Chains A and B, each alone.
Chain A
């Protein structure tokens, strides 16, 4: 690799690379994001390598392991270029067939194609799958085309052209104006206008300034930052370098979780490659601008995702937030002006510089521009990463892209914004998703987690779960967050255990309000959201728990009992054999009965009872009928219907 000295050299290199690439040569791309790796995509790629070697096709077929494609539900994903044939759930045993038939004879293997569960149609190309078809993949799109460990792939797709444009054709003021006009807002949760943040930091007094990438993504079920950093690290680096040039910073930090080993690895590779080409270090592209990036690995505290806590952690101390009445753009790490942005925010910057603010501002709603990546998880058919324009309705995301709720269950609520977000009920599913709308609904954008819940979810238990998470993760510095969350958790636990009392709801609301208003950092200020939003939309469930001692969804163990309906039981002995505590009495031709005192409510009998009988019933809020006397339990053999 040669260190590039000018934008012209970069363009020449790009041309040279493009000329070298044979677009007609078959290329097998295998997704190796963390999701697909969990499905053993590495074995698939080794199988491809071995098979190609075995057949002596080394020179005629290329193999590329790419970043996350986003459709994690169907991993490992394999896309074969140039035809863009997409195979899902590929196993190492399918490899030989793919090479001999798809590549050798241009035949498409039907059994590996994606089948639409509703229409039963097969989709040959990635772009025909409804999950991808309805997305707008601006930031995330290149993930599937790039080998994250090879900077050349990024350069071929126009990489670092935004950097050279920013360095040579624009002044920092022009860049700030461009970012401001684009309407880009922070993707980490707060939604602060990025251009304004940069401007304040640029004009803040002081010579030493810092730029930081916040890759401390800790929300349960959210992984868009990880996938971006794993799959396309250079887009983040390019945004960061442009930001540094704009603000006048010469040192940048990437704060990435140690729990993301692949992201850490790929970032280090990307940094060393960018340095070799001269996108980092001294005199970047011959512009005279110096900039270097350091990687700081987080030690695993959720609160360190909060900007001031992250900066404290970067300084080498315990990651605890500090008062931000003086903004971090004025006094951040080591009291120097610092600009901290989320991974996704930085990755949006090269797009804006390349395509212009007007283009970017044309996407999205009035207050929220551009696209947003959501991680769609929970009770939804198509789990994965979804990038849609701001203002797309929740229904489109969950039903059109997500494919609806599995097993024909009913949708109940969606939790947006991670543990401190709120639950949005079915009645509001047509609301457009943007910063203002979600806040108005009592939730928040957060970093973009979306947990879908079906009718079998108890909302009180959900609120309890999130508060349990937050009470573990609260740093404990300020009183309302430390003590308030713990008290709310105690009340919620009582309610789910059937010990709820009159007045609990009011007390919850009172504590929640103080936690929201008086906490030191955003973790505490939003910690009450799960409670407040479920109280707002599902108050009846709370009341059922407290007043009727009934759990409408049948989740809270203390409030439910399992009961075998005597008229439905066929004495098949399946539940009898599977009960782990021997609480079921029964025999052949004798109706089974659960001993309520021994039962631990594990629900196994409910799950194993054959669907055609459905004899086991969940009872909540009313007493369990007394068991039949032993004599009455005998099943008289019915006349068989089959013979006439």
Chain B
């Protein structure tokens, strides 16, 4: 692998070719705030919170750290005035949509968002980052949930807004959700669990990790020894951990 040298916040750093600015910064111990980023899925660059300023060939521009690949000789500023201004407005925009999400409130305090200036559009918890849909598609390979609609009216839902068998309530989406919105949808999961055991498979059966055809615990994962052990051992959501390796 080729080594690449770049300047992050005034210090020269080396990174490997193919890494993103975010990964290089994290390796160097620099924190860049993120919402829609998760190491186990492809970065989509949708929340734009990880916006950083880069200087390349004498020109400055704002890019998202999670998708921009490291380049030889570029200078990255992760916390310049322009970056902070942009992030502050992004947080304000998200707060107008989701005023009561703790993560956003915390970010708001950090970036000096004071009283709300924008019209409150909605009061919900979903910031439409798309991590849940990505993990469902890329890691579980099922796409049980996806975006519905366009623009401000888009939501995450099942096809035709109906609960369907493809969702096995694996819980990977709840694990990656940055705002905790999916937990609120727990009733849908509970609904699924009430179904007869033979009608569905658990995440381990789906992945071929266990050979059982029926769950001895009536699909209550917290009682499953295998599940608990895997989670404990890997310190990660079992689905993501197993799929990653």
Q: Report which A residues bind B (CB closer than 8 A).
A: 301, 318, 322-323, 325-326, 471-480, 482-487, 490-491, 507, 510-511, 514, 517-520
Contacts and interface: CB of A to CB of B under 8 A. Distances in A.
Given A472-B151, A486-B151, A519-B48, A479 B93 contact: yes
B117 A474 contact: no
Interface stretch (B39-47, B164-172, B192-200): B39-47
B67 A325 contact: yes
Given A514-B86, A517-B86, A519-B48, 19 more contacts: A322-B44, A323-B44, A325-B69, A473-B151, A475-B151, A476-B128, A476-B147, A476-B149, A476-B151, A478-B45, A479-B46, A479-B94, A480-B93, A483-B152, A484-B93, A486-B151, A490-B119, A514-B90, A520-B64
A514 B152 contact: no
Contacts of B45: 322-323, 478, 520
A482 B118 contact: no
A486 B128 contact: no
B205 interface: no
5 contacts: A478-B46, A482-B154, A490-B119, A511-B93, A514-B86
Residue in A326, A472, A478, A483 with the greatest tally of chain B CB atoms within 10 Å:
A483
B245 to A, nearest CB: 24
A323 B69 CA distance: 11
B238 interface: no
| Interface range for B | 35 or more
A487 B128 contact: no
B150 interface: yes
Main secondary structure of the interface of A (DSSP, over half): helix
A504 to B, nearest CB: 10
Given A507-B117, A511-B89, A514-B89, A479 B64 contact: no
B9 to A, nearest CB: 20
A482 B48 contact: no
A478 B66 CA distance: 13
B178 interface: no
B173 interface: no
Interface string B43-58: 1111111010000000
Contacts of B96: 483, 487
Given A325-B67, A326-B69, A479 B127 contact: yes
Contacts of B121: 483, 486-487, 490
A182 B43 CA distance: 39
B219 to A, nearest CB: 32
B48 A479 contact: yes
A514 B93 CA distance: 10
Given A477-B46, A518-B51, A520-B45, A482 B67 contact: no
B97 A483 contact: yes
B62 interface: yes
A483 B48 contact: no
Contacts of B69: 325-326
Interface string B78-111: 0000100110011001101100000000000000
A479 B151 contact: no
A-B pairs, 7 with minimum CB distance? A483-B93, A323-B67, A514-B89, A476-B154, A474-B151, A476-B151, A490-B119
Interface of B: 43-49, 51, 62-64, 67-69, 82, 85-86, 89-90, 93-94, 96-97, 117-119, 121, 127-128, 130, 147, 149-154
A635 B43 CA distance: 77
A468 B103 CA distance: 30
A558 B224 CA distance: 64
B68 A325 contact: yes
A518 B150 contact: no
A190 to B, nearest CB: 15
A490 B117 CA distance: 12
B94 A518 contact: no
A518 B147 contact: no
Contacts of B118: 487, 490, 507
A362 B37 CA distance: 50
A131 B152 CA distance: 43
Contacts of B150: 301, 472-476
Contacts of A517: 62, 82, 86
A479 B90 contact: yes
A453 to B, nearest CB: 26
Contacts of A514: 85-86, 89-90, 93
A518 B90 contact: yes
Residue in A471, A473, A477, A491 with the greatest tally of chain B CB atoms within 10 Å:
A477
B147 A478 contact: no
Contacts of A480: 48, 89-90, 93
B89 A520 contact: no
B152 A471 contact: yes
Nearest to A506: B117
A478 B151 contact: no
Contacts of B93: 479-480, 483-484, 487, 511, 514
B1 to A, nearest CB: 17
A478 B48 contact: yes
Contacts of B51: 518
A481 to B, nearest CB: 9
Contacts of A325: 63, 67-69
A488 B46 CA distance: 19
A322 B82 CA distance: 23
Contacts of B149: 476
A482 B151 contact: yes
A287 to B, nearest CB: 38
A359 B150 CA distance: 46
Contacts of A518: 48, 51, 62, 86, 90
Contacts of A477: 44, 46, 130
A478 B149 CA distance: 14
A474 B151 CA distance: 5
A459 to B, nearest CB: 22
B204 to A, nearest CB: 29
A550 B44 CA distance: 45
Given A325-B67, A483-B97, A511-B89, A520 B152 contact: no
